[in-house]
Amino acid sequence: MRLALQTDYALRTLMVLATRQERVKIDDVAELFGISRDHVAKVVNQLARLGFVRSIRGAGGGIELGRQPDQISIGQIIVAFEGPMNLLDCVAMDNVCVIEKFCKLKGVLAEAERVQREYLESVSLADILPTKRQLTVVSISTK
């Protein structure tokens, strides 16, 4: 499985927000990671629609987590941005292959997907957080 860039940006944005007590600007996330502000804004918009992030406009505005880090699983984020993660069509659908009736590969891949899904659902955002200091050091060293 390879995740889309948008999913990567979503995970990184959530990691930054979870290490901060204060609201964060989209520009700050983009600058920290050296990525496009427009891309971060699109990701934040989707995260907000999904309830993972709150976006506050105006003076003192910015973005903040919409849930506690231990209430957000990595699996939730990946599925929200990637959709179903099937290794092959036959795992999710019937009648896509002429050898389906006797093929053992479908079962193997279905089990691999199940294990992956369970694992990603078991890991929360809180489990993967760098410290605010680690992110500050990265921010300083990239300037």
Question: For position 44, which CATH number holds?
Answer: 1.10.10.10
- Residue where the block lists tokens 């990637």: 82
- Over its length of 143 residues, how does the chain's per-residue pLDDT go in tens digits? 789 999 999 999 999 999 988 999 999 999 999 999 999 999 999 999 999 999 998 888 899 999 999 999 999 999 999 987 888 888 888 888 898 888 899 889 989 999 999 999 999 999 999 877 777 756 545 55
- Residue where the block lists tokens 């948008």: 6
Domain that holds residue 22: 5-141
How much helix, strand and coil, in percent to the nearest 5, is found in the chain?
A: 60, 10, 35
Give the count of domains, the chain. 1
CB 6 within 8 A of CB 42: yes
The Cα–Cα gap between 46 and 10 comes to 9
The Cα–Cα gap between 4 and 14 comes to 16
Model pTM score: 0.85
